[in-house]
Copies of this chain bind each other. A is one copy, B any other.
């Protein structure tokens, strides 16, 4: 599924739910679903303004909620004091590495963690539902002084 397809999936979702397809909703979806980064509301709003497609903050929040309900976007909280949003793509579940210097987020998948966490939960009498792992560290670029950002 490439970017355009995902935006179309959002349009389909809106139509299926008898929700109007508005300019704002499409612009927000285009930016958020095409983003390689984990965007904050501020970054998203800023990018829309840059494109000459400014959208009110309330609308941004309301549209993100729709994108989350449609399953196309996932909410992330890296304890920065605000949330970030990530296109769901087709990845069922993955972990995050967060560079504590530049804030870059790297995703990876590790099958073993699913099993490990299920066993850990069971060992303590819990029925596992999901888990969340964030590894904090310093990325290669920041370590070698090739600081991008």
A6 interface hit (Cβ, 8 Å): no
CB distance from A72 to the nearest CB of B (A): 20
Residues of A within 8 Å of B, CB-based: how many?
32
A68 interface hit (Cβ, 8 Å): no
A82 interface hit (Cβ, 8 Å): no
Q: How far is the CA of A79 from the CA of B123 in the complex (A)?
A: 24
Nearest-CB residue, chain B, relative to A99: B126
Partner of A124, one of B97, B126, B129: B97
B residues near A116, Cβ cutoff 8 Å: 116
B135 touches A131 (CB 8 A): yes
A137 touches B129 (CB 8 A): yes
Partner of A140, one of B95, B125, B133: B125
A117 interface hit (Cβ, 8 Å): yes
Seen from chain A, the residues whose Cβ lies within 8 Å of a Cβ on chain B are 77, 79, 95, 97, 99-100, 106, 108, 110, 116-117, 120-121, 123-140, 143
